[in-house]
Every structure is written in C-alpha cells, then in structure tokens.
Amino acid sequence: MGHAGTELGAPAIGGERSEDTFRTLAALLRRDLDFGSSDSGYASHAIHPFAAKFPPQIPRLFIEELTQSGDSVLDPMAGSGTTIVEALMLRREAFGFDIDPLAVRLCTVKTTWLDPVDLQRRCLAIIEDALDMGKSGSHLRRELETRYDAETRKFIDYWFLPETQLELLALVLAIERVSEPAPRGFFELVLSSTIIAKTGGVSMARDLAHSRPHRDPAKNPRNAITEFRLRSAKALKKFQNLPQRVKKVFVAERDARNLPLPTGSIDLVVTSPPYANALDYMRAHKFSLAWLGYPLRALSALRGRYIGSENLHGGPTGELPRRSAAAVRALAERDARKAKVLAKYLGEMRDALAETNRVLKPGKGAVLVVGPSIMRGVPILTHEYLAEIGSSVGFRLAGVQKRRIDRDRRMLPVSLDRNGHSTIEQRMHEEYVVGLVKE
C-alpha cells in the first residue's frame, strides 16, 4: 500500500521533445480504435469480471508507440488493471492506483506471476479443507454469527441462501490458512469471481457483474465450492502467459488526486476515468468484499469518496472552464442537485488531471478513455469537458477520437430513468479517446 508523503523512484531526465510526442499521439488518435473483433481475454485480463473495462489493445497501442522498454507507465484510476498488465507484458515499469479495494486486489493479482503447479496443489488443499469444514455445519453457523457485524450479516442473509453462506465461509476459512500473501490473494480473487459473475454466480442477485443488484427469488445459485473449483482451473491457465521476470510493478490503494510519485517521473499515463454519471462499482463489489472482511459501513463511507459519487459533502472548490461551467448551468435548469453532482465530478477530475500533469515528465502524454452521459435528458459531453479541463491545468490537446463500444464486451449495467427508459442505452454506444501532452 502507498502511504501519504511516500515517493517512489526518482525523476528521470530527458525524453522526447513535446512536439515529437504531440505528433505521434495525434497520429495514433487518427487510427481505428474500436478493436471490436480483437481477443481481449489473453494473459490475466479475464480472470475476474469488472464493469466497463476497456480493451487491452488500447493501452498496448499507446504504450508501444509512446514509450520504450524500461519507461514508466501510470494508471491513476487503474480499475481492473488493464493498463498495468499491458505495461508489464511490454517490459515497462508500471504504477497503478485506485481507491476501490477490489480493484487494487484485482490489479495486484493480475500482475503477479505465480507458479501454476504450486497454485494447483494449493487449490486442491483449499477445496479439501472447505469440504471437511462443511461436514460441521453447526461450527460454521457459529462462526457466521461472530465473524460479521449486524449490518453486514443482514446483507449476507438477504443476498445469499443459508447453504451458500456455509459454503462461502468454508472457502474463506480454508483460504485464510494459506500463509503467503500472493497465492492467498489469488484464491481470494477466485472466490470473489464466484460471487461477482458475468453469468450465474452464487448469490441471489441476477447477473451481478452487469447490473444493479436485483434479488431473484427464482434463482437457483450454484454450489460455491464447485464453482470455486471451476473458476480456479480457468484462472490458473491465464497465469502461464505472464512473464516471470518483470520491471517494477507497484499497485496501491490511493486516490488519483494524491499520488505517491515524484514530480516529473512518469513517461506515459493511460487511464479510463469514471464517467460523469458514474457507474457505482461498489454496488457490486461489496458482494465479495463483505466476505473478505470489509464491514458494510466502511464500504459505504468509502463509496462516498469515489470520483463521480453523488455524495456532495466536501466537494472541490474553484471555477470550471467555460464549456464545463456552461454544461453545469444547462443541467441546473432541469435538476439543481444533479448539476451539483456534475460540478463536483468535473472539479474532482480537474484535481486528478492536475495531479497527472504533475507526475508526468515534460513533453510526455496522457491518454484518457471516457464516454458521454445523459443526465436528466441533458447530453453531458465528458470528453469535451475533460479536454478543456486538461488544457486549463497545463496540457496541450493532441486530439480526440471516437470509438464504438461493444456493449456485451464492456459489461455495462442497466440504469433506468424516471420514465423507465435505459439511460445507459442512450449514452453507451460510443466513447472517446482523448490525447493530452504536458507542456
């Protein structure tokens, strides 16, 4: 984990001139960036569902063309770690930060090579332990009552059948017997993938990885231990393609507005910030984080600190650039509170982009993958506002390129407006790649 005031590495000197980066980045942004038919499940990319992942071909392209082996690549809002995995595969130094604890766990596991033979042996032991513990249901039920606080216990009781609870707790206890942090983290992530699943899953929630949690009383959840066995086998195969010897990879739970990096130390940033009408990642992530020891109350408090959250307490101050401010005023005519949410989001992204600018070397690039939104019927052109905000904090705009989204592959949630129409469907058929260069 990163700590306040800690700086990693030292600033490097030199690098390409600003004009060279600008021309290269501008040319890259004129390419077709859809990657609709490309395989995105190689290496460790597909070991756990994560909403709105961008295809790994995007960071790979910009890392290959804008950096060299040994250069440093940063994703300050790392999400599922797509940029960090690509940087690792391309022998770059990689730094990934996120405020979401499941994202940090996922990014850490996906960038840590583990011996598949050793993992297979450990997996069999975990399953054997879990099955043995399952023979003593009374012991597991007592453990359930004491391990989780009342609020978390109520959440578990609502979303998981009694028999599933015992299966999951047996797996949790068996995984806790793994003493080494790296393999234990791997199996915790496999456990999480049995809960936050693209299809099926062991909770009573329908299609949890895509949508708002909705309890389906007709659902027949799969056996958690059987599902754990199947998902472990699939995940094990993915790690055979990761390089064993890599450059530095550092992942930590940290806010993008306060990075533990020296000024002028990064060669490239590739990131996908939250949208203006943000996806609520914690809505799904708490389903597995609760089992991994995070109290619901703590997760709710953390959720309010996410960029784009609707918690209006203690938002950023300062004026927004012209187009961004005009968007806030237009939304205020429809919904004053939503306008405050948008203003808060844009102010938070201004602070995040200023921090990104600080840690980049002069003349180096930042690539943002963002999408437009619809808020109360008002088009929110996030890419245009972030391009403008970037210019206001010391970047030069190299270009903006539209890309089409394959909704099924992006795993986007369902969200209905007041009239019952899908607001996600209205806005999520395209997104934009914004290229910025530090002056």
Domain architecture of the chain: domains with CATH: 18-113+242-438 (3.40.50.150), 116-240 (no CATH)
Q: How confident is the model at residue 424 (pLDDT cuts 50, 70, 90)?
A: very low
| pLDDT, mean over the chain | 88
Helix axes 296-303, 281-289, angle to 10 degrees: 160
Helix or strand holding residue 195 (H, E): helix 181-195
Contact 309, 281 (CB under 8 A): no
Neighbours of 288 (CB within 10 A): 23
The structure's pTM equals 0.89
Helix or strand holding residue 379 (H, E): strand 378-380
Helix or strand holding residue 266 (H, E): strand 266-271
pLDDT at position 275 over 60:
yes
DSSP β-bridge partners for residue 432: 370, 402
* E strand segments, 54-107: 72-75, 93-98
First to last CA, the chain: 31
pLDDT at position 65 over 80:
yes
pLDDT of residue 278: 64
Q: Two tokens at 92?
A: 């770059």
Side chain identity, residue 330: A
pLDDT at position 135 over 80:
yes
Q: How confident is the model at residue 409 (pLDDT cuts 50, 70, 90)?
A: very low
Poorest-pLDDT segment among 274-283, 360-369, 384-393: 274-283
Burial class (CB in 10 A: 0-12, 13-18, 19+), 181: exposed
User: Cα 230 from chain centroid?
Assistant: 24
> What sign for the dihedral angle of Cα 99, 284, 173, 146?
positive
Mean pLDDT of 6-35: 76
Poorest-pLDDT segment among 1-5, 153-157, 191-195, 332-336: 1-5
Contact 350, 312 (CB under 8 A): no
- CB contact burial 62-92 (16+ within 10 A = b; e otherwise): bbeebbeeebbbbbbbbbbbbbbbbbbbbbb
Q: How many residues does the chain have?
A: 439
Q: How confident is the model at residue 422 (pLDDT cuts 50, 70, 90)?
A: very low
Q: Which residue would you say has higher pLDDT here, 185 or 18? A: 185
